[in-house]
Amino acid sequence: MITATYHKYILNFKQASGTSRGILRTKETWFLIVSEGEKKGIGECGLFRGLSIDDRPDYEEKLQWVCKNIHLGLESLLVEMTNFPSIQFGLEQAFLSLKGSNPFELFPSKFSQGKENISINGLIWMGDKTFMQQQIKEKLQRGFTTIKMKIGAIDFNTEIELLKSIRKEFSSEEIELRVDANGAFSPNNALEKLKQLSELEMHSIEQPIKQGQWQEMANLCEKTPLAIALDEELIGVFSKEEKEKCIETIQPQYIILKPSLVGGFKGSEEWISITKKYNADNWITSALESNIGLNAIAQWTYILQNKLPQGLGTGSLFTNNFESPLEVINGSLGYNSKKEWKFNL
């Protein structure tokens, strides 16, 4: 007989991390443990307060319901949890983990065997100019050739100067630059800002204006001199018909998929199949999960064989993350099969 329990866990940032939504010091997450006989499966429900569509007062109640009704099986539970994408993702992981030869290998591959790595971007958190410069320097020293910088929290001219200083030292052949505005621009000034950014030979910009403004975003995607990637735009769009309508209307150059926010592997794969019809590409991003969720996302990302650098966090942001074989080697994420997992709640 299959049974399930859930556990809340608070991840503590090593240093406060700035986003356009404010300063993050802790990150709440939830673990779903399913058991069948001696076997156990682990899934992380990566709730992201203030961003997840399932940031609702009845979240824990839903987890209780899932545990009581775990016997219904994965497919039925995914349908029941349509409005709770992070729980859907936790369920997918837990059932795959239960089936696997060990709880941490969800998608056996050359990645999970430690034979191949995944190219990733180095993330620069918002802060004052000195702090951001320090992070850029550190990422370059660690072998990253793609850097993603969050913009929109400090003065735009200061951000442009920072980006110019990178470009003075490194050409677009040496360093690929991505920026993430987290919806910080207004539809009135976004195009002008995109023109300024494009002069610095950027790869792309994520979510220049706030989500939900499909017509304005479509207008931007049509006129932009810089590739636009939809991110928050995908959150809370559940049905296949609505997803299709979103992509058909906006016609973006890229979409960015965070499995915790868009309904796990299944939800993400639905988005991928739709965007292919409209010649849009994609990459996968983690959303501040612990190493449990990051491991699941990384293993799945590898089997997609998307050659673009992915937005996979490195698990090194937190003081109380779980020890794992995941490690960053020369700007890529690898799995060191000599290292042990230490997962204890």
- Tell me which of 164 and 60 has the higher pLDDT: 60
3-state secondary structure of 22: strand
Burial class of residue 181 in the structure, from the number of CB atoms within 10 Å of its CB (0-12 exposed, 13-18 middle, 19+ buried): buried
Predicted local confidence at residue 336, as pLDDT: 96
C-beta of residue 238 within 8 angstroms of C-beta of residue 261: no
Predicted local confidence at residue 292, as pLDDT: 98
Predicted local confidence at residue 18, as pLDDT: 63
Summarised one tens digit per residue, pLDDT across range 128-147 is: 778 878 888 889 889 999 99
In sign, the C-alpha dihedral spanning 323, 325, 329, 331 is negative
Length of the chain: 345
Mean pLDDT of 54-80: 98
CA 197 to chain centroid, in Å, comes to 23
Q: How many Å apart are CA 65 and CA 100, to the nearest integer?
A: 25
Q: How many Å apart are CA 172 and CA 59, to the nearest integer?
A: 44
Residue with tokens 């610095």: 200
Summarised one tens digit per residue, pLDDT across range 10-49 is: 999 998 776 656 778 999 999 999 999 999 999 999 999 9
Q: Please, where in the chain does CATH 3.30.390.10 lie?
A: 2-99
Q: How many Å apart are CA 208 and CA 230, to the nearest integer?
A: 9
Q: How many Å apart are CA 148 and CA 258, to the nearest integer?
A: 16
Closest CA to 324 of 279, 280, 285, 293: 293
Superfamily of domain 2-99: Enolase-like, N-terminal domain (3.30.390.10)
Mean pLDDT of 148-176: 87
Q: Please, where in the chain does CATH 3.20.20.120 lie?
A: 118-335
Residue with tokens 């990637």: 229
Predicted local confidence at residue 20, as pLDDT: 58
In sign, the C-alpha dihedral spanning 300, 334, 314, 305 is negative
C-beta of residue 200 within 8 angstroms of C-beta of residue 167: yes
Dihedral Cα 102, 107, 108, 110, nearest 10 deg: -130
pLDDT of 75 above 80: yes
Q: How many Å apart are CA 66 and CA 80, to the nearest integer?
A: 9
Summarised one tens digit per residue, pLDDT across range 257-316 is: 999 999 999 999 999 999 999 999 999 999 999 999 999 999 999 999 999 999 998 778
Fold of 118-335: TIM Barrel (3.20.20)
Residue with tokens 């191949």: 116
Q: What percent of the chain has pLDDT over 90?
A: 81
User: Residue 90: pLDDT band by 50, 70, 90 thresholds?
Assistant: very high
Q: How many Å apart are CA 160 and CA 164, to the nearest integer?
A: 6
In this structure, what are the phi and psi dihedrals at residue 319, rounded to the nearest 5 degrees?
-80, -25
In sign, the C-alpha dihedral spanning 167, 173, 174, 180 is positive
pLDDT of 104 above 90: yes
Q: How many Å apart are CA 52 and CA 32, to the nearest integer?
A: 18
Closest CA to 90 of 120, 70, 71: 70
Predicted local confidence at residue 162, as pLDDT: 86
The residues annotated as belonging to the active site are 150, 258
Predicted local confidence at residue 245, as pLDDT: 98
Predicted local confidence at residue 198, as pLDDT: 96
Summary count for the chain: helices (H), strands (E): 11, 13
- Tell me which of 155 and 231 has the higher pLDDT: 231
